[in-house]
Amino acid sequence: MRIVRTRHGARVEDGGLVLSEVRRDPGPTHSLFDVLAASISTQVPGHRVAVLGFAMGGIVAPLRALGFGHPIEAVDLDVSLVPPFRELSEPWCGDVRVERGEAGAWLRKRKRPFDLVLEDLSAHVDGEVTKPPVSLGSLPMAIRARLKPSGVAVTNVLPVPGRSFADVFTIMAAPYARAVVVHLERWENKVLLCGDALPPARDIGRSLRSALAAIGSCEATQLAVRTLPR
Whether residue 113 has pLDDT greater than 70: yes
How much of the chain exceeds pLDDT 90, in percent?
A: 87
The pLDDT tens digits of the residues spanning 73-94 come to: 999 999 999 999 999 999 999 9
In whole angstroms, what is the distance from residue 71 CA to residue 8 CA? 23
The DSSP secondary-structure symbol of 90 reads: T
CA angle centred on 32, ends 106 and 78, rounded to 5°: 35
The pLDDT tens digits of the residues spanning 169-214 come to: 999 999 999 999 999 999 999 999 999 999 999 999 999 999 999 9
Domain ranges of the chain: 2-227
Task: pLDDT band for 16, please (50, 70, 90 cuts).
Answer: low
4 touches 10 (CB < 8 A) = yes
193 touches 182 (CB < 8 A) = yes
Q: How many CB atoms lie within 10 A of CB 61?
A: 29
What sign does the dihedral 181-104-55-133 (CA atoms) show? negative
Nearest CA among 145, 150, 182 for reference residue 165: 182
How far, in Å, are 79, 104, 108, 196 from residue 101 at the CA level?
Answer: 9, 9, 12, 28
Domain 2-227: CATH class, spelled out: alpha beta
Q: Which residues touch 34 (CB under 8 Å, ≥6 apart)?
A: 28, 62, 212, 215, 217, 219
- Across the range 158-163, mean pLDDT stands at 95
- Is pTM beyond 0.85? Reply is yes
The number of residues making up the chain comes to 230
Pairing, β 72-76 against β 96-100? parallel
